[in-house]
Structure 1
Amino acid sequence: MNEEIRLANAADVPRVKEVTDAAYHPYIARIGVVPAPMEADHVANVAAGRVFVVGEPVAGVLVLVAEPDHLFLDSVSVHPDVRGTGLGRRLLRFVDDHARALGLPEVRLYTNAMMWENQEIYPRYGYELVERRVDGPYDRLHYRKVLDPRAGSGAGRA
C-alpha cells in the first residue's frame, strides 16, 4: 500500500468510523468499556482538519491535534484486513514528519493500560512512558517521543 497519506474530507467520514470501529472493537471486552476513539466525533474531527487517511478504500486513520508545544496523536487505526503490511509503521513515521513540518519538538499519545500490544509497539518507535493516569473509566499510559528536528522519513510520499 503506497498511496499517499492525505487529509480526510467529509466523504471519508463513514469509512473513518468503520476503520476506527474495526480496529478498536476487539478491545471492548478486554478493557470493559468502549475505547474512546470509537466514540469520537469523526465529523467534527474531519472538519477541523485533524484526520489523515490512507488507502482506497481507507485502510488507515490518524487523528492528530497540534498543540503549542507538541503534536498529540489522539488515535491511530489500521483496518484488521491490512494488519501486518507495514501500514501502522508508515502512519507512525508520518506522525513524526508532520510534527516536524509544524515545527513541534515532540509527539505525545496515550493508550489504555489493557492494550498490552501497544506497550510493546510504542517503545520500539522511540516513545518513552512518562506516566500512568486514570481518566474516568480509562486507565491510561502516557507516552512521549522527542523528535530529532533534522531527521525525516518521507513516509507520507507515495
Structure 2
Amino acid sequence: MLATLRRANPADADTIAVLVAEACSPYIPRIGRKPGPMLDDYGQVVRDELVFVALQGERIVGVLVLRHEGRELLLVNVAVLPACKGQGIGRLLMDACEAQARTAGCEAIRLYTHERMTENIAIYQKLGYRETHRATQDGFARVFMRKLLG
C-alpha cells in the first residue's frame, strides 16, 4: 500500500512516540542507551517543530521532524515502523524533507546520527549527504552530515 503524508497534529503525539520507540529500540544494545529520539516529548515536538507523518490508510507508519535554522533545514528525526521497512516510506520522508527545504529556500539540509548507526550513515551518503564532522553531543557520539541543495 502506498503511503501518504500529512502534517502531524497534537493527537498524533502518543502514536509518534510509540513508532519512534519501535524504530529506535534495536539500537539500544549497540549504543548502550536509548537513542536521543526516544527521549523526546512528542507532544512538545509536534507543537514546536515541523512534523509530518506517513500514513498507510489511517495508520501512522513513519515520522519526519524538521527544524528551520536560518538558511538550512535540520532533519531532527526520520523513523519508520520496523514492520514497514523496505516499502519506500523512508524514501518518501527523505524526499519530503528535501522538498520542504527547497520550498523554504534553504541552501542545505543538515542532520546527525549516532556513529554506531552505520547503516543510516550509508543511506544518507547514498542520498547525497556528506559527513562534516564527528563530535560528542548530549552524551552521544554523533556523525554530522550536510547536503547542499543546488
Higher strand share goes to which structure?
2
Which residue, 63, 70, 94 being the options, matches 1:92? 94
Structure 1, unpaired ranges of 5+: 149-158
Deviation at 1:14, TM superposition (A): 1.2
Identity of aligned residues (%): 39
TM-score (norm 2): 0.94
Name the residue aligned to 1:116.
118
Higher relative contact order (CA 8 A, sep 6+): 1
2:86 is aligned with what amino acid?
A: G
Moved over 2 A (4+): 1-4
TM-score (norm 1): 0.90
How many residues align structurally?
Answer: 148
Q: Find the aligned partners of 1:72 and 1:136 in 2 and give their Cα distance.
A: 17
Structure 2, unpaired ranges of 5+: none
Alignment of 1:64-79 (within 5 A): 64-79=66-81
8 Å contact kept, 1:7–1:49: no
Name the residue aligned to 2:44.
44
CA separation of 1:21 and 1:130: change in aligned 2, threshold 3 A? same
8 Å contact kept, 2:107–2:148: yes
8 Å contact kept, 2:24–2:35: yes
Q: Find the aligned partners of 2:49 and 2:6 in 1 and give their Cα distance.
A: 10
SS at match of 2:59: coil
Name the residue aligned to 1:155.
none
Offset from partner CA, 1:27-59 (integer Å, 9 cap, x none) = 011001110100112101111242110112100
